[in-house]
Chains A and B, each alone.
Chain A
Amino acid sequence: MFSGLREKVGQVLVPGDEFSLEVQETLSLTEPLKPEKVLLGPGLKRRGDRKLLVVKSGVLRHKQPHVFWVENHQRRYVPAKGETIIGIITVKSGDVFKLDFGGSEQASLSYLAFEGATKRNRPNVQVGDLVFAQFIVANQHMEPELVCVDSAGRANGLGVFGAGGLLFSVSLGLVRRLLRPRSDVLSDLQKLFPCELVVGMNGRLWVKASSVQQTLIICNLLQSCETMTTAQRQQLFRRAAQGAL
């Protein structure tokens, strides 16, 4: 059923490409018929009953058993439920904060959605602070909503942060590469010097190293990773390690 889709894995697709998911013409009577499912990630849309439409240009990726998505280059972030992002507080009004996260509109963050926050015990958040938060509401029709606690009420790494480091933006593709389990970029970076790194799915990175110089080096290295092959990157990182230490 998905043979057409499977064939194209690893190839470049452009918006407008279509896949038709035809049912097998001959049904075997002996084997029980299993309904097949497919999970569509970003870049693929269902069109009608048995058609798939590609809506982003990029490389088709596949994950066992039935997950397909299009990996593309993008800088504008579109919020998705469950993703963690770095936001900047822009407004403090009443019982919600407004956050800029690089999307088309601002997200809201309740002041009760911090660890240990109660009506009486308000979190200390100022305008311009950085917040690492998670989307609990993100869809086309509603204002996106963020929280800084997990389902058990623990911070779990979320919350206000950012003293002394540098915030900068990269493309969403690079962020996904950094967040991949066993990321090659991160493992190269680990060999350089100790640093703190916060990666938001919205393309924002926050880096803090022991000195301004080191922070700038890491920031520049990560920004230049975007357009480099693995060999070029490793060479660059090696030279950075020799020069800086």
Chain B
Amino acid sequence: MKDTPLSNCERDFLLKAIEEKKRLDGRQTYDYRKMKITFGTDYGCCFVDLGKTRVMAQVSGELVAPKENRPNEGIMFFNIELSPMASPAFEQGRQSELSVKLNRQLERCLRNSKCIDTESLCVVSGEKVWQIRVDVHMLNHDGNLMDAASIAAITALCHFKRPDVGIQGDEVTVYSPEERDPIPLSIYHMPISVSFSFFQQGTYLLVDPCEREERVMDGLLMIAMNKHREICSIQSSGGIMLLKEQVMRCSKIASVKVSEITELISKALENDKRARKAGGRCGFAESMPQERITALKTDETSVEMTDASERANDIVENAEVPPQTVPSPVVPAPGVGQVGQGLQNTWGLEEEEDGDEEEEEQQMEEEQDEKEDSREGDVVEISDSEEEEVVILHPETQDKSSKNAASSSNQKGAETSKQRQKK
């Protein structure tokens, strides 16, 4: 089936809005959409929500014979599936140009950067190695599939545990999880792809383009980077000429975004680990007994306001709304990491108005207090501690706790450099 065509009026409006530094969903130029990481019941299953874009990654392992030229290295296999569920324009069972492009980029991002120790996947040299297969399924397409896919894939790889194997003589025994604890993969670093779209021959730049923005963009630059600020792959498409300083600026932004996303991933993994250790069901399975199909989904259209003071009110409003519609807390399930859900997206640039910021900060503090209260209450009953499982990253609160002063100072540095360049 054909995709809905983009009308001329949408195209004109989008370009005009981008010129005025406005985006359809009220984001700033360098903002990501709300991101949420959820895990499935099994090891190695991960869902990533990036705004309305939704991606699932599943990792599986198999014992196979190694490649001839690399007898003691495991095999990594990546597969991206663009199902018609994501968008009516995707066709089943045919390799489209987009899927080839995404697949290639994911391979470059994860395999060629050597982020996984393939030698540790060797069981018997030249005879048996583990083949790790990563299947990435697109569940909904609202732009920026690559970033969502790379985050989902690396998170699923971090989450995955392969069964333990024992060798007695010539015999290889695969132990079930009951006999011996499964072993996680050894991962050196986590490359994450960040997409930049360019408009008007590179005059305007947007981070994390949504579907309609992707349609009107002139060019796309994808930078895969890890938190040590090492670029793992870089690819530009769309045939656009980029200046050296533009690429430099993008890589600076990417480093900030990557450090934030890496932190989110590790928090989500940590939460999931804790939830699993506490026993009980976690991940997607948790939503089943509640029989609420919307359990993992809270849709809220963010409303953009002219005034930052209004935005502070918006937070109050948004904080109030969920309990009215859903009696239990919005937090979907244990073992979930999410960013910005239900709150204003504070990534990227901070507001310049000081008075308003204070207000916002107060609001944050209040919410923080609330959270702490609920935590104290939850110490007794661990099973009820749904609130604990959420990770909400605020730059402000991070500054206060000065946990990762380095990353926030990086961010500030990048911002000031951006502002300087703007001037």
Q: A residues bordering B, Cβ < 8 Å?
A: 88, 90, 100, 102, 104, 126, 128-130, 162-167, 206, 212-213, 215-217, 219-221, 223-224, 226-227, 229, 232, 235-236, 239-240, 242-244
Contacts and interface: CB of A to CB of B under 8 A. Distances in A.
Given A216-B22, A235-B317, A239-B313, A206 B9 contact: yes
B12 A164 contact: yes
A126 B12 CA distance: 14
Contact of B5 (A88, A104, A219, A239): A88
A126 B8 contact: yes
21 contacts: A88-B7, A100-B4, A128-B6, A128-B8, A130-B9, A165-B13, A167-B9, A212-B13, A213-B20, A213-B306, A216-B26, A217-B304, A220-B301, A220-B302, A223-B301, A224-B301, A227-B299, A227-B301, A239-B313, A240-B303, A244-B306
A244 B24 contact: no
Given A213-B22, A216-B22, A227-B299, A244 B305 contact: yes
Contacts of B317: 235-236, 239
A243 B306 contact: yes
Contact of B9 (A90, A102, A163): A163
A132 to B, nearest CB: 12
B321 interface: yes
Contacts of A163: 9, 12
A20 to B, nearest CB: 31
B310 interface: yes
B17 interface: yes
A231 to B, nearest CB: 9
**What secondary structure prevails in chain B residues at the interface with A?**
loop
Interface string B160-171: 000000000000
Nearest to B311: A243
B291 interface: no
Contacts of A164: 9, 12-13
A142 to B, nearest CB: 19
A220 B5 contact: no
B352 interface: no
A216 B17 contact: yes
B306 to A, nearest CB: 5
B24 A216 contact: yes
A102 to B, nearest CB: 7
A244 B293 CA distance: 37
Contacts of A213: 20, 22, 304, 306
Given A223-B301, A236-B317, A239-B317, A128 B5 contact: yes
Given A164-B12, A167-B9, A244-B305, 8 more contacts: A88-B5, A88-B7, A126-B8, A166-B10, A217-B304, A220-B301, A220-B303, A224-B301
Given A212-B13, A232-B321, A239-B310, A224 B7 contact: no
Interface residues of B, number: 36
A212 B305 contact: no
B321 A166 contact: no
Contacts of A224: 300-301, 303
A33 to B, nearest CB: 49
Given A164-B12, A165-B13, A239-B313, A217 B305 contact: yes
A57 to B, nearest CB: 13
Interface of B: 1-2, 4-13, 16-17, 20, 22, 24-26, 299-307, 309-310, 313-314, 317, 321, 324-325
Contacts of A242: 310
Contacts of A244: 305-307
B158 to A, nearest CB: 34
A166 B13 contact: yes
A108 B12 CA distance: 25
B305 A243 contact: yes
Contacts of B20: 212-213
A216 B304 contact: yes
A129 B8 contact: yes
A240 B305 contact: yes
Question: Which 7 A-B residue pairs are closest in the complex by CB-CB distance?
Answer: A243-B310, A224-B301, A128-B8, A162-B9, A243-B305, A220-B303, A166-B13
Given A243-B310, A244-B305, A212 B8 contact: no
A215 B22 CA distance: 11
A130 B24 contact: no
A90 B7 CA distance: 9
Nearest to A206: B9
Contacts of B309: 243
Contacts of B2: 100
Contacts of A130: 7-9
A165 B13 CA distance: 6
Contacts of B8: 126, 128-130, 162
B323 to A, nearest CB: 12
A212 B5 contact: no
A135 to B, nearest CB: 18
Contacts of A126: 8
A119 to B, nearest CB: 26
B5, B17, B314: residue with the most chain A Cβ atoms closer than 10 Å: B5
A165 B12 CA distance: 9
Nearest to A226: B301
Nearest to A129: B8
A221 B159 CA distance: 39
Contacts of A226: 301
A215 B10 CA distance: 12
Nearest to A101: B4
Nearest to B13: A166
A166 B212 CA distance: 12
B222 to A, nearest CB: 27
B22 A220 contact: no
